[in-house]
Chains A and B, each alone.
Chain A
Amino acid sequence: MSPLLETIGLTRHFKVGTGLTRSVLHAVDDVDLAIGEREIVALVGESGSGKSTLARLVAQVHKPTRGEIRYQGQPLTAHRGRRAKLAYRGDVPMVFQDPFASLNPAYRVSHGILRGLKLHRPELSGAERQAEAERVVEAVGLTPAAEVLSRFPYELSGGQRQRIGFAQALAHRPKLILADEPVSMLDVSIRIGLLNVMADLRETEGVSILYITHDIAGARYLSDRIAVMYGGHVVETGPTEDVLAHPRHPYTELLLSAVPDPRAPLDVDAAAAKTDPPVVIDPTPSCRFRTRCPLAVDRCHHVTPRLHPVAQGHTAACHVTAPPEGAQ
């Protein structure tokens, strides 16, 4: 059975500079990622690792430079015509990072939800639309729904606004929600509530979620599978518990060691990690993590590592810890 959505060799480059300084920024390079039905996949990486660009490629905000996206077994390029594109956008909505910028302050909360319903489900009557809007608002845990719908965004807290973001996405009866750092602007104490909403939506509405985050602990709480991105490459992917219990890529280990955990003693060595960003402008073939990697060997400087299986469903791209079978 083919997964719900699959990217094959997905690549996006941006041209930067002009004239003599013209160069190419490799935001996303050769990413293969699959998301199954009712599956929550976490995409983890630091700022600038290309995780948001990947989400935008999937949402068709950017066109890929190379590679393709297959949705329900069909390449997206086969979607021709306004109707097919609109249907895809309704199936794969996006929830944005900043709940203060993503809701129009001049309209009531109901506006965004009702507009989405009008556009994507034109068969509904006005009364049905209102009922459906109340249903999705309740689904994200906001009650009383009718009253919440008649409020303006400024009357809601950050956590409530972000729930409205999910309610808007839900109104389209989506298959896959692209959630781009939905909790990073919220207080730690209300993040968990929103993570629980996402977990519930999978159970009750049967959606899949691509959860983009730099918080690996939140990713563990929510996701079935995890993909770690660094410098535009996916460097490690696999079942969440497996990857976090037995990380094979040094970057995954670095991410894990950076999570503040009051229950564990402070690991000072890990904290000494350098933070130079990877070179993604006109990169030469090499491992992009080599400048920060404690294990780097000569080969890392001129050969790009590929993802190789290290356990059931678990792959890593590292010359040292995950060499291809047979080569040692």
Chain B
Amino acid sequence: MPEPLLSVTDLTVVYDTARGPVTAVDHVELIVEKGQFTAVVGESGCGKSTLMFAVAQLLNPPARIAGGTVRFRGENLVTLGERELNALRWRDYSVVLQSAMNALNPVATLAAQYKDAMAAHGTHTNEEIRARSSEVLDLVGIDPVHLHSYPHQLSGGMRQRAMIAMALLLTPDLVIMDEPTSALDVVAQRSLMVQIKELQQLLGFAVVFVTHDMSLVSHFSDQLLVMYAGQVVEQGPTRTVFDHPSHPYSRGLLEAFPSIRGPRVPLHGIPGSPPDLAAPPAGCRFTPRCPLVHERCHVSEPALYEVGAARSRCLLHLTEAAS
């Protein structure tokens, strides 16, 4: 069997704080096949962005990778040096950040920024750079005349598209997207999602998409990872998780947003807030907020148990597996 495009094993990220080390990403496993769309969902502070930064080797102190491997196309990114990483970055994997407003350089035109990225990865001539820049802008549905625009001259949706175009400049195999749509309104968000999916099918790159809005990715992703307090609590094919969520947290997330169809029913969301990662609760970390909490949840820490096609970190499924 060929090796997957990206395989993350036992990845642990620690923030060194004055109060001692805080584990933000705790033994996470993730496999992304070529051309697959993977969504990572969870609340603020669950470690989803830290996980992506760790995969892309973009962590800065006080964060550090305390263990585990990130194998990308057969190489362990964790042990690579800065020079080797620089060769891979943007050419083989690229990152689209949450706020394009901050990620783009406000005092340079799009053309200048695209040129920077391309020049750093080879000896392209001006003609090549110009042709490729127009081509990628065209791909995301922006008129190439905007190559000479500054970021402030574009609308929020266009800036996000320009970021995605930039991420595609060197036809990477993997694009990591950290909440690229969260600053947009619903109509712009929907059209951007459809466009990402179309580009992905057209060009065949894999996407890892981080979001707190589970409903957003329901129609777009192949694989879903639900994170809570630094751990993966549920993982499986997107449709399976949506139709039969097996972890109480995924169920809570799914029931947290109102629908525009069907009867109006009172919703309660998930009470409480995520635990302090410096002192996580004993046993299952979801215990304080879980509607199905049981005595043994306070003592034994659940592992990921197989539940059909998915895997779930809940003791409920331990009994099922045993019986």
Residues of A within 8 A of B (CB): 46-47, 157-159, 187-193, 195-196, 214-218, 220-221, 241, 244, 254-264, 266, 268, 270-273, 275, 277
Contact = CB atoms under 8 A, between A and B. Distances in A.
A189 B212 contact: yes
Given A47-B156, A268-B194, A262 B273 contact: no
Contact of B259 (A193, A195, A263): A263
A277 B242 CA distance: 34
B309 interface: no
A255 B188 CA distance: 10
Contact of A157 (B190, B218, B273): B273
Nearest to A193: B269
Interface stretch (B50-58, B76-84, B93-101, B249-257): B249-257
Contact of A47 (B185, B190, B257): B185
25 contacts: A46-B186, A46-B188, A158-B44, A187-B212, A188-B214, A188-B257, A189-B212, A189-B253, A191-B256, A196-B266, A217-B259, A217-B260, A220-B258, A254-B187, A255-B187, A257-B190, A258-B187, A259-B260, A261-B215, A262-B214, A262-B254, A263-B262, A273-B187, A275-B188, A277-B155
Contacts of A263: 259, 261-262
Contacts of A196: 266-269
Interface in B44-75: 44
Nearest to B212: A187
A189 B252 contact: yes
Contacts of A264: 261
B152 interface: no
A264 B267 CA distance: 19
Interface in B179-227: 184-191, 193-194, 212-216, 218-219
B157 interface: yes
- Contact residues on B (Cβ < 8 Å of other chain), bracket: 35 or more
Contact of A188 (B212, B218, B266): B212
A214 B95 CA distance: 27
Contact of A192 (B184, B186, B269): B269
A261 B215 CA distance: 6
A277 B155 CA distance: 9
A173 B323 CA distance: 59
Given A190-B269, A214-B186, A262 B155 contact: no
Contacts of A258: 186-187, 189-191
Contacts of B157: 275
A46 B185 contact: yes
A230 to B, nearest CB: 11
B264 interface: yes
A266 B188 CA distance: 16
B306 interface: no
A30 to B, nearest CB: 23
Nearest to B218: A262
Contacts of B269: 189-193, 196
A50 B218 CA distance: 31
Nearest to A47: B185
B43 interface: yes
